[in-house]
A and B are shown apart, each in its own frame.
Chain A
Amino acid sequence: MAEKNISMRDALRDALREEMIRDERVFIMGEEVGRWQGTHRVTRGFYEEFGAERVRDTPISEMAIAGAAVGAAMAGLRPVAELMTINFAFLSLDAMVNHAAKIHYMFNGQFTVPLVFRAATGWGNQATATHSHTPEPIFAHFPGMYVAMPSNARDAKGMLKAAIRDDNPVLFSEVIALYPKPSLVPDDADFVLPIGKSDVKREGSDVTIVSFGRGVEWSLEAAKQLSEKDGIECEVVDLRWLRPLDLDPVYESFKKTNRCVVVEESLPMYSVGSEVAARLQEAAFDYMDAPVRRVSAMDVPLPFARDIELMALPSAQKVMTAVREVLG
């Protein structure tokens, strides 16, 4: 299959464009998605190509963007609702949690809610406390809605297409820092990855690193350095989906390594790290040689000033330290 080396931004753009061409019911709504060309330029050129009917600029109305997407989806359209950044999804939270995630169940299957909420996520660039959230675990808390968070361009394309084609609501979180990063992406309009499947991004036998989103980048960097410097071989599992959560590759890896580090960009309490650690001790207690270590953002709001912002955040360096710790 032909592949092309493109950024995650372009991979997402291709996925959206192909799905809009494939299915007329797919349309985009959100703040600045059209004339402005998308806040992060993912929908660049769409307004010109598909027109205002299918690329709908909305008022600054997050409650109605999310809620109207739910209604349109129930009625038979397939909305891709952009929430600009995940920080503003807190205003949409009720429509997401109480309606998108509940309607199929509550009315016992009479309605489906086939929609995708797209949101840019992640810290960095001094966006400050209100604009630096990576709160995906909050959204993944609730049954009824899937949560996706790709770590590279290839996955982003295959996962977004899967999300759009699926009949369940999906929160699709896109890490801002990954938008410009390229990888090889199949040049195929039917390249669709399965929903809820983790992926081993690097094989190794000493320590299992579990991560997702931007954490995968830090984990792979740490694994590379540890291998080169210390001969430590880490296996890196990319969860890709926080819900459905596929831990089978993690258990399999752990049975081999007996040690685990979970790396995430989000806050430490009630986190993916907490969940993975709990599940591991339930599923593989007998294989455990060391306590599971968690690398995450510090448990503080993020400040503006660059130096202290960086202190609060995870990094490849912090992952390396944690790996050495679990090895004792």
Chain B
Amino acid sequence: MAVEQSTTLSRETLLDWYYQIVLIRQFEERCDALYKDHKITGVYLHLYSGHEAVGVGALAALGTDDHVITAYRDHGIALARGVDAKPLMAEMMGKRTGVSGGKGGSMHLASRAHNFWGGYAIVGGHFPLATGIALKVRYMKEPNVVLCFMGDGATNNGYFHEAVNMAAVWDLPVIWLIENNLVGMGTRIEDSSGQPQLHKRAAAYGIKDGGRVDGQNVVEMYEAVSQAAAYAKKKGPVLLEALTYRYSGHGVSDKQYNVREDLASELKQWQDARDPINVLRGIINASYPGAEAELKALEDRADGVVEESVKFADESPVPTYEDLISNVYVGRSPLD
């Protein structure tokens, strides 16, 4: 049953999620514009537009001592985790004040202070890291959980099998959350996975199948991940699949949507019928009518935050030679 109304969640909570989703959308749209303006440079920029409710709903279910890790489509996850937009935007622009000092770029955002263990650009490479972080949690008998985001395409990489199986054998507290946007680069899930209903793979590992969730509905995401977290902490891994859609193609170099009618119309259908902002707006209106003015104010606030982040990034210095050679090793210069 689709959630269209919620009386269990407070008005403030729903408005806060609305703000976060809008903030991510605006941040991503600004990144796209900055890329076109050559303010953000390089060949990679993978936007989270369309996925916002997955990240916001899932992270709302976690505490600050829980752990988060993801792939290169990481801007929205970082924002939803509460990382300030300013150092994120600075990283996009390769500035010294960026979360990764301008060395990581958009695909490698991380914030130690937020237990956000980073975005990783080698597909699947972060799965065993999640297993390892969860191992530390169990080892130290901490009451926390690791949330590992991944794309649908990434589940066909060998890392998936090894990392998921190892976490299963050791009953580690991991939530494997697949953001199934139906396609990896240009390859559809039916063409890349023998079992396209990805959550069903849980059976093969003897772990909890958390099912398939509507990734465009932030409330459903929140509820599903809350349940998964409770289970994972007590018992062991959960595999969860969120159905979603990417609005800006694979990345900035993806021109398919300009030339392929079928993709353009699929995108339009998702935007018209299942946009996470509209879905949440509907839930808010049904649950707590009369919030229109507040929603508008939240949109303006997000706009201001993004604007401020761009100004901050713009005015920040670029890294120097010292930065180039720092942190290659712990406590040693690469020139020694």
Contact = CB atoms under 8 A, between A and B. Distances in A.
Interface residues of A, number: 35
Contacts of B321: 308, 311
B43 A303 contact: no
A63 B158 contact: yes
B320 interface: yes
Interface in B71-105: 91, 94-96, 100, 102-105
Interface in B99-147: 100, 102-108, 120-125
B24 to A, nearest CB: 21
Contacts of A233: none
A299 interface: yes
Interface of A: 31-32, 35-36, 39, 57-64, 87-88, 91, 125-131, 298-301, 303-308, 311-312
Q: Is the interface of A mostly helix, strand, loop or mixed?
A: loop
B326 to A, nearest CB: 9
A126 B186 contact: no
Nearest to B122: A130
A87 B328 contact: no
Interface stretch (B149-157, B224-232, B237-245): B149-157
Interface stretch (B46-54, B187-195, B267-275): B187-195
B325 interface: yes
B290 interface: no
Contacts of A303: 102-103, 319, 323-324
Given A32-B187, A304-B105, A127 B44 contact: yes
A294 to B, nearest CB: 16
A59 B194 CA distance: 10
B324 A62 contact: no
Contacts of A305: 94-96, 102-103, 105, 318-319, 323
Given A60-B156, A131-B121, A300 B41 contact: no
B319 A61 contact: no
A60 B184 contact: yes
B42 interface: yes
Contacts of B44: 126-128, 131
Interface string B242-282: 00000000000000100000000000000000000000000
Interface string B153-184: 11011100000000000000000000000001
Contacts of A35: 186-187
Most buried by B among A35, A60, A87, A298: A60
Contact of A88 (B43, B96, B122): B122
B158 A32 contact: no
B331 interface: no
B73 to A, nearest CB: 14
B185 to A, nearest CB: 5
Interface in B178-226: 184-187, 191-193
B289 interface: no
A36 B185 contact: yes
B106 to A, nearest CB: 8
What 5 pairs between A and B have smallest CB-CB spacing?
A: A304-B105, A126-B42, A36-B186, A59-B156, A305-B94
Given A36-B187, A303-B102, A304-B108, 15 more contacts: A32-B185, A32-B186, A60-B154, A91-B157, A91-B158, A126-B42, A128-B121, A129-B104, A129-B108, A298-B324, A304-B102, A304-B104, A305-B95, A307-B318, A308-B318
